[in-house]
Amino acid sequence: MSKTEPGAAALIHTDGYEYFDWSNEKKVAYNFRILTSKYNIRIIAIERQWGRLGNSIQNVNRMMKNYGFWIGLSCAHGFHDKTLYPTAQEWQKSMLPYHKGLVPKDVYLEEARNQFPNAQLKFKKHNGRAAALWIAAYARRISKLNESRIH
């Protein structure tokens, strides 16, 4: 992950939420280790990625490299059986059901500003943070649904 690549990771917990932007693998791995030691993480969600028609080879390569990095990181920390891999369509349909199809980035960014008012989501470039927060909220919802089915 280079410093110019967009993206973020988020964690929703009982006291609120935390998020951080991607900068490089070493910093992300460090932050992940801190979060996993600080919180009892029950579920992780990593947005499923694939190459799409019209994407450049470099873009697809970067997406798949980042996707593989997150899968490796979650498995290395013992979350292989607690990891969801939703597509953008799955988490958007669940979290933003009144929109049809894929939700434009500016729309889910605006919705995230309302849902997560204390998050720093001032600029268009913060859509990665917004997506990370929505994906974390999706994972939390799925986790609660699964817990209610067990009890």
pLDDT at 41: 86
- What is the residue extent of each domain of the chain? 8-150
User: What pTM value is reported for the model?
Assistant: 0.83
Range 11-24 average pLDDT:
83
Range 59-73 average pLDDT:
82
How do residues 93-141 score in pLDDT, each as one tens digit? 999 988 888 889 999 999 999 999 999 999 998 998 999 999 999 999 9
Spatial CA neighbour of 119 closest among 137, 97, 139: 137
Q: What is the DSSP string of 101-114?
A: SSPPHHHHHHHHHH
Query: Into which CATH architecture does domain 8-150 fall?
Result: 2-Layer Sandwich (3.30)
